[in-house]
Amino acid sequence: MSNYWNTRTKTLSPYVPGEQPRDRTFIKLNTNENPYPPSPRVLEAIQRVLSDGPAAGSRLRLYPDPECRELREAAAARYGVKPAQVFAGNGSDEVLAFAFGAFFDSNTAPILFPDISYSFYPVYAGLWNIPFRTVPVREDFSIDYKDYLVHAGGVIFPNPNAPTGRTLPQDEILRIAAYQEKQSRVLIVDEAYAAFGAESVVPAIEEHPNLLTVHTLSKSASLAGLRVGFAIGNEELIEGLCRIRDSFNSYTVDRIAQAAAAAALRDTAYYDGITQKVIAARELAASALSKLGFTVLPSGANFLFIRSPTKSGPDLFAALREKGILVRHFNQPRIADFLRLSIGADKEMDTSLAACIEIEDGK
């Protein structure tokens, strides 16, 4: 605590990201990164930014396009929407932060999100001073859409939910959108992991002007290091996001990131291939762990939420770490005995499953 901090800084509870170890080589299954490399088209696009012009790197002299037109056009083509219905940002975390600032208020009813969900939501609410109420997910960790058909300042949840991986069908999400629309409230659906097995609600944005979907290139596009995310929604919502961004920093997505992200969004064939591999590995791991007696929640994401039949969450976390496997544990009510295991490459999954077998056998 410093005397130089203002009240806001003193009272924040910042998000704690998953560990990015530097001291030791781990099988890294703790931050839902994609185990496969990005499309070769992405690297070509980056090369073009660096080599175009009279001198190497000379395009980096210039500010990037503040409107991210090429990137938004690529996203629009990929999702069958208009470029004016796309907003791009520096990772979907930034897009989410802007969305909280643009659509949720300090002096209205609390916004709603599930008690087990992405732990950045309460942080953004704290940053913008937005009241919130968490809604308990069911005993099986699924979301009951009816809980969100109530008076609220707005609603946000991921689909698939994180860290559970559980999905909500499109028609149930749209009932929430319709209900919240009647009271002029925004529903944000964070589709960070949707490519791995959830029904996207992007096709419903024309019908539901209060529905904002948020996407990332960090997971399915293997570009967590690039920091690009985007939102798709009705033009008025997109304009609201632009107003917040342009009151903060007009150039949040740099020149290299814009070109690389556009190339990734255009290469659907490559990404369909690696997504299928991740899904297949997830299903194999889920059935192997179930056979070992683990509780494994059904997952539509690139991770599994699992509970050992014998070990506490912290004990299994420590035992896996000891064997060089890094996963994510959330020290939080209801899920303290669960671990989130990101889906890695086939060999990493084999090693991790062998480690789970050894640990359960007491080795």
Interface of this chain with ligand PMP, residues 141 to 180, rule: CB under 6 A: 158, 162
Q: Which of 70, 93, 267, 348 binds ligand PMP (CB under 6 A)?
A: 93
The distance of Cα 264 from the centroid of its chain, to the nearest Å, equals: 17
Indicate left, alpha or beta for 294 from its phi (over 0: left) and psi (-120 to 50: alpha).
beta
Structure tokens at 40: 């070769």
Size of the residue set binding ligand PMP (CB under 6 A): 12
The amino acid present at 16, given as its one-letter code, is: V
Closest distance of CB 246 from ligand PMP, Å: 20
Closest distance of CB 139 from ligand PMP, Å: 22
Say what angle helices 255-266 and 40-51 make with each other, to 10 degrees.
Answer: 150
Three-class SS of residue 233? Answer: strand
Structure tokens at 307: 């509970």
Q: Is 49 in the site for ligand PMP (CB under 6 A)?
A: no
Q: Is 108 exposed, middle or buried (0-12, 13-18, 19+ CB in 10 A)?
A: middle
Exposed e or buried b per residue across 140-150, where buried means at least 16 C-beta atoms within 10 angstroms of its C-beta: ebbbebeebee
Closest distance of CB 16 from ligand PMP, Å: 11
When the beta carbons of 229 and 313 are compared against ligand PMP, the nearer one is: 229
Closest distance of CB 288 from ligand PMP, Å: 24
Q: Is 91 in the site for ligand PMP (CB under 6 A)?
A: yes
> Residues with Cβ < 8 Å from 168, sequence gap 6 or more?
142, 143, 145, 157, 159, 161, 198
Closest distance of CB 118 from ligand PMP, Å: 4
Stretch that binds ligand PMP, among 34-42, 85-93, 167-175, 254-262 (CB under 6 A): 85-93
Interface of this chain with ligand PMP, residues 225 to 264, rule: CB under 6 A: 229
Interface mask toward ligand PMP for 200-219; x: CB under 6 A: ----------------x-x-
Q: Is 118 in the site for ligand PMP (CB under 6 A)?
A: yes
Q: Which residue has tokens 């496997």?
A: 325
Q: Is 33 in the site for ligand PMP (CB under 6 A)?
A: no
Q: Is 30 in the site for ligand PMP (CB under 6 A)?
A: no
When the beta carbons of 164 and 319 are compared against ligand PMP, the nearer one is: 164
Name which of 304, 326, 360, 158 is nearest 295 in CA terms. 304
Closest distance of CB 142 from ligand PMP, Å: 16
φ, ψ of residue 45 to 5 degrees: the values are -65, -40
Stretch that binds ligand PMP, among 91-99, 178-186, 278-286, 292-300 (CB under 6 A): 91-99
Q: Which of 81, 98, 99, 190 binds ligand PMP (CB under 6 A)?
A: 190
Sign of the C-alpha dihedral computed for residues 30, 32, 35 and 38 taken in this order:
negative
When the beta carbons of 19 and 52 are compared against ligand PMP, the nearer one is: 19
Name which of 84, 79, 66, 46 is nearest 261 in CA terms. 46
Closest distance of CB 8 from ligand PMP, Å: 22
When the beta carbons of 93 and 267 are compared against ligand PMP, the nearer one is: 93
When the beta carbons of 224 and 353 are compared against ligand PMP, the nearer one is: 224
Q: Is 39 in the site for ligand PMP (CB under 6 A)?
A: no
What's the CA gap between 180 and 272, in Å, rounded? Answer: 34
Is the bond preceding residue 66 a cis peptide, omega within 30 degrees?
A: no
The amino acid present at 262, given as its one-letter code, is: A
Q: Is 92 in the site for ligand PMP (CB under 6 A)?
A: yes
When the beta carbons of 78 and 311 are compared against ligand PMP, the nearer one is: 78
Site residues for ligand PMP per CB under 6 A: 91-93, 118, 158, 162, 190, 192, 216, 218, 224, 229
